[in-house]
């Protein structure tokens, strides 16, 4: 639900119709990446702060500077804010804008993957480690070599391989990397360097990680989303094409790549046979929420599946002050995800 349509919303009435309520209210949280470690749910969100910057299409008002990890014993249990796990001041290479993170675990070490702008104003992706899923996390001295853009999501496959999905257009700068290197030419606009509407849409990226989960083991590849005829989705297909917020989960042997359409405010997904895709577009996961962005994660807990997402209802529609929520997600008999309506 875009910001220009919320002026006349009765938020008390809306919140009473919401299918779920904010997990924490002491801070604003967004972009939740949820995982189950040792039988407990850990959520790795962005921490929204009011930096006072005017709204713009480059996301300057999303000025997040640290990460708090939320833990829960179950999806219906109490959500605990475990305090600051990593601050931008602790990351040597990063200047600002610690946007949507993710995490994973290997051999008792927990890895926090996060984007931030370096001192040249270019988004890179860093890694920090901890012996605890809630941190504190110690960052690597440099960003992942050849990393770029935003929204890392790290998927562990059944064979023990780890894959990072990443990328986001507009403020996420993915469009500036179309030729393999950062295009710093003016204008400083999210609409510069995008494909034409009749051209294939920009793709998220995927790369297998090295055994230590600290670098790419290969050159990142395009994550292709195709229609029922096998044709790539076009840039002008804004209700279905990729914008940001990659996620991957596996269900009944199939790989589900899900993502946000950004300016049209849907969460969508495609289904494929391996982590690299291609993924055949299969439908919507979530209808638009209050607030500009949609960003999510999907995880299984005790045999049921859950969607973690956010909206701006607690802040009464302030775009960059969001709150993480959770609701049950259902796959039907054909493996399709039943579309969720966020308000009754």
Active site residues: 31, 244
Collect all residues with Cβ–Cβ distance below 8 Å to 265 and sequence separation of at least 6. 1, 2, 288, 289, 292, 293, 294
H-type helices in the chain, by residue range? Answer: 11-17
Give the long-range contacts of residues 328-333, CB within 8 A, separation 24 or more. 328/75, 328/304, 329/285, 329/298, 329/305, 330/305, 331/251, 331/252, 331/305
CA separation for the pair 283, 35 (Å, rounded)? 24
CA distances from residue 168 to 46, 50, 194, 263 in whole angstroms, order as listed: 15, 22, 12, 12
Structural tokens at position 95: 């200047």
CA separation for the pair 178, 195 (Å, rounded)? 9
Residue 105 pairs with which residues in a beta bridge?
110
CB 22 within 8 Å of CB 323: yes
């Amino acid at each position: 639900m875009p910001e220009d349509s919320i002026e006349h919303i009765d938020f008390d009435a809306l919140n009473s119709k919401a299918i779920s309520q904010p997990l924490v209210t002491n801070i604003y949280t967004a972009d939740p990446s949820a995982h189950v470690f040792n039988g407990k749910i850990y959520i790795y969100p962005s921490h929204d702060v009011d930096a006072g910057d005017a709204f713009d299409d480059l996301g300057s008002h999303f000025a997040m500077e640290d990460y708090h990890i939320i833990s829960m014993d179950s999806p219906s249990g109490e959500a605990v804010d475990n305090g600051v796990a990593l601050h931008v001041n602790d990351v040597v290479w990063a200047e600002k804008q610690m946007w949507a993170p993710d995490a994973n675990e290997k051999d008792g070490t927990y890895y926090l993957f996060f984007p931030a702008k370096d001192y040249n104003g270019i988004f890179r992706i860093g890694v920090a480690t901890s012996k605890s899923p809630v941190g504190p996390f110690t960052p690597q001295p440099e960003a992942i070599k050849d990393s770029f853009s935003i929204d890392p999501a790290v998927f562990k496959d059944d064979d023990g391989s780890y894959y990072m999905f990443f990328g986001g257009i507009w403020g996420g700068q993915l469009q500036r990397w179309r030729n393999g290197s950062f295009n710093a030419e003016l204008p400083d606009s999210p609409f510069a360097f995008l494909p034409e509407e009749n051209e294939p849409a920009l793709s998220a990226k995927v790369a297998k990680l090295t055994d230590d989960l600290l670098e790419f083991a290969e050159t990142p590849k395009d994550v292709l989303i195709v229609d029922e005829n096998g044709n790539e989705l076009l840039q002008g297909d804004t209700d279905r094409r990729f914008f940001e917020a990659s996620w991957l989960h596996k269900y009944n042997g199939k790989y589900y790549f899900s993502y946000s359409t950004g300016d049209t405010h849907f969460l969508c997904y495609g289904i494929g046979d391996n982590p690299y895709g291609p993924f055949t577009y299969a439908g919507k996961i979530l209808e638009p929420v209050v607030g500009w962005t949609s960003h999510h994660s999907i995880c299984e807990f005790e045999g049921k599946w859950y969607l973690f997402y956010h909206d701006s209802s607690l802040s009464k529609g302030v775009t960059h002050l969001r709150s993480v929520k959770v609701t049950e997600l259902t796959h039907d008999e054909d493996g399709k995800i039943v579309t969720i309506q966020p308000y009754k």
